[in-house]
A and B are shown apart, each in its own frame.
Chain A
Amino acid sequence: MTHTLNRRGFLRTAAATGGLMTLPGLVSMAQAQNITPGGTLRVGLNITPSVLNPMLLRLNSEYMLAEMLYSGLTTLAPDMTAQPDLATEWRANDDATEWHFTLREGVTFSNGAALTSADVVASFTKLLDPETAAPGSRNLGPIAKVEADGDYGVVFHTSAPYADLPVALTYPTAKVVPAAIIESDFDSLATTPVGSGPFRLSQFIADDRAIVEKNPDYYIEGQPYLDSVEVRTFPDAAGAAAAMLAGEIDLLNEIQPTDFARISEGAGIEGLRTPSGRFLDVVMDCTVAPFDNPKVREALSFCVDREAMVELVAEGYGTPGNDTPVNASYAYHADAPLKQYDPEKSKALLAEAGYPDGIEIDLIASVKPDYRSAMAVVLREMAKPGGWTINVKTMDHPSYLEQVWKKGNFYVGFYNMQPTEGTIFNLLFTSDANWNETRWNNAEFDALVIKADATTDHDERARLYAEAQAMMRAEIPALVPCFFDLLGARAEQVMGYEQNPRGANYALHKVWLSAGS
């Protein structure tokens, strides 16, 4: 039992630290006076960045590198709002189909060229060109045309009203590069970055390390504080964890829940923990028996002890889910009482649905990340008294992606947080979603999401999204039992680093090393 006590005590401390980290105002106000510029930050990654072309990025590790070398029009703040980057201000027409962005003046690329609206137009045209095959192009919204308005103004026309455009433009691949390079030699960006970001690449060795150095001409006065950042790649999470504990790296962004307590207790290390909208869900195909019957889906939703799930699957580093992909990390989260564990109700509902003897079914879980199968096993155990016999089948990740994902009728999914409610709904749950894996195809829900996308009024959007979330809680196209916190660690001397719940933004230009180091 002593283990448990220590761990609980620790959890409280970690939670307190996490709380502080989410109040950026307080922290930066307190420390603003004694920022000490200079020094090298060593960041650990366990996924190798291999793509350098900013429009073709796929991995979080690549996002981090590109964020240091390039700039976008807007950048995503930890509260999921769009903040100025190359664009200093923006405004929309009344029905949110035409957006005007004003560009910052006096910005230069690392090749010396000055940034103008022509570069922004060329970059977005290239990004939206299907031939570029940019991974994020569908996440940018229904952009129909991008035009220059003088040297420092850009107008975006959308084919449908789209209130989230400034936030959508924070997508990690939406970076601005010189028009001249796009026209002459776009492929050279794969090896020679030319951007206006806070740092410039000085060395890149694939599978080992990348070193970036301060951009002396960066457009935010005084930033970046660091002289250089060294990004080191480790083959797996265990290697990165060992390096963090040995003091070989100063910052680690991705830590497994099972390793977090051990690393945070290391000498001179502070654990970083931020609630996020990253979630595991149990996908049910709403067009195939038994899940075509809403009563069966409701029955299963009564078989989840959500708080215990957080403890057992996320090791306590998470928040319970209520069968919608939207949680408190999103702007328009509508709170509702947490669904309670009630296996008797599940039995009764199964009997009503025509399964008086219960249901036996295979639940497929990929082995990556580990907690997918952990959740399957826990669900099996929790659902037993509710009349369910769930047989867990694990599968290696490539086979899962090929055979089960978007095809199976009962499996465990895992998704990152998205910047807006609209993005996550349009990614997974609307009828024309990119990955419509539940085949819920609810026209009413679709209408709500489309209407909210087109609404600029905050209260009205909140009402529409609240209704959409209530609909998901009632009809349960997928179980969302728990959300995972982002877990990381920093060395004590690393200051000003704030975890972004979306998990794809790092803002390393705001980081400095305390003088004592």
Chain B
Amino acid sequence: MKTLRALLRNPQGAAGLALCSLVMLTAILGPAIAPNDPEAFHFGARFAAPSAEFPFGTDWYGRDLFSRILVGARSTVLLALLATVIGTALGAIIGVVSGYLGGMVDEAIMRVTDAVMAIPSLLFALMILAALGSSALNAVLAIGIAFTPGMARISRSVTLQVRSLDYVSAAKARGESLRWIVLAEILPNTIAPVIVEGTIRVAFAIMTLATLSFLGLGAQPPAPEWGLMIAEARDHLFRSPWPVVAPGAAIAIVAIGFNLLGDGLRDVLNPRTGDHA
């Protein structure tokens, strides 16, 4: 509660929280409030400009862009969140274990993550998709795996500070198992920077997911996934800009929202700036 209140006092945090709430609400309620079937063609209204009937206009088949954005929010945003959660969880555990164990194990794990991080995350995701085949879930997995090394790096650096603290030594002295020490003692105390990083990563995940769909490797047509919508609309750009503008703006708003939220959380959760930021 204290964090939430502090977040609301922070202008970036408040704006980010508002935008993200709006996006999450859309993702949950989108299909229920969409006025039209996102796949239904309206032959008489191809390339329509925004109007009362079609608030964001229609695309080249006369499909309602507003409904497509609303319904597509779920696949786009929830899949991005899922990808981030996979990457964050995997990365946090690897990082904490590596940082806590130290020595040769740490060396080995960190050199491997270095090697993986040397490959740009989009390229890495492309490689994974080439191996797994293209589908929306594989794209999520690919992005999750591509995000893991970065998260491992961050959680390891925090672990290195925490591992020498007294309560960890106390747990060791009590003879607790590795699993207990990692999960119960260290992980909860490294969680703040990981959450901040994770929030910002959501924005990257959405853009990477959109990029993969744009390249034809994620969602399959006629799914109203935003990146795919832009890819398909590209051919028709000169006849009507709306099929590109609407999903493009949606992606921008979500990305900005999660970035602002991440910035806000960083300010709030940082003990040095603290409550009186």
Interface of A toward B, CB cutoff 8 Å:
1, 3-4, 7, 256, 258-259, 261-262, 308, 311-312, 367, 370, 373, 376-378, 380-381, 391-396
Contact = CB atoms under 8 A, between A and B. Distances in A.
A258 B222 contact: no
Given A308-B43, A381-B41, A394 B220 contact: yes
A258 B236 contact: yes
Contacts of A381: 39-41, 61, 222
Contacts of B166: none
Contact of A3 (B43, B61, B222, B240): B240
A373 B221 contact: yes
A258 B238 CA distance: 9
Contacts of B39: 380-381
B214 to A, nearest CB: 12
Nearest to B235: A258
Contacts of B236: 258
A3 B51 CA distance: 14
Interface in B221-251: 221-222, 235-236, 238-240
A508 B66 CA distance: 49
B238 A378 contact: no
B220 A256 contact: no
B224 to A, nearest CB: 12
Contacts of B235: 256, 258-259, 370
Nearest to B236: A258
A394 B133 CA distance: 11
B47 interface: yes
B43 A393 contact: no
A392 B43 CA distance: 21
A410 B60 CA distance: 25
A312 B46 CA distance: 9
Contacts of A256: 235
Given A3-B240, A378-B41, A378-B61, 14 more contacts: A258-B236, A258-B239, A259-B235, A262-B238, A308-B43, A312-B41, A367-B216, A370-B235, A377-B61, A380-B39, A381-B40, A392-B222, A395-B134, A396-B216
Interface of B: 39-41, 43, 45-48, 60-61, 134, 216, 220-222, 235-236, 238-240
26 contacts: A1-B45, A3-B47, A3-B240, A4-B47, A7-B239, A256-B235, A258-B235, A258-B238, A259-B238, A261-B239, A262-B238, A262-B239, A308-B43, A312-B41, A312-B61, A373-B221, A377-B222, A378-B61, A380-B222, A381-B39, A381-B40, A381-B41, A381-B61, A391-B220, A392-B220, A392-B222
Contacts of B40: 381
Nearest to B135: A393
A451 B45 CA distance: 50
A258 B61 CA distance: 13
A403 to B, nearest CB: 10
Nearest to A305: B43
A380 B223 CA distance: 12
Contacts of B47: 3-4
A376 B222 CA distance: 9
Interface centre among A3, A377, A380, A391 (most CB of B within 10 A): A377
B248 to A, nearest CB: 19
Nearest to A257: B235
Contacts of A258: 235-236, 238-239
B225 to A, nearest CB: 12
A311 B61 CA distance: 10
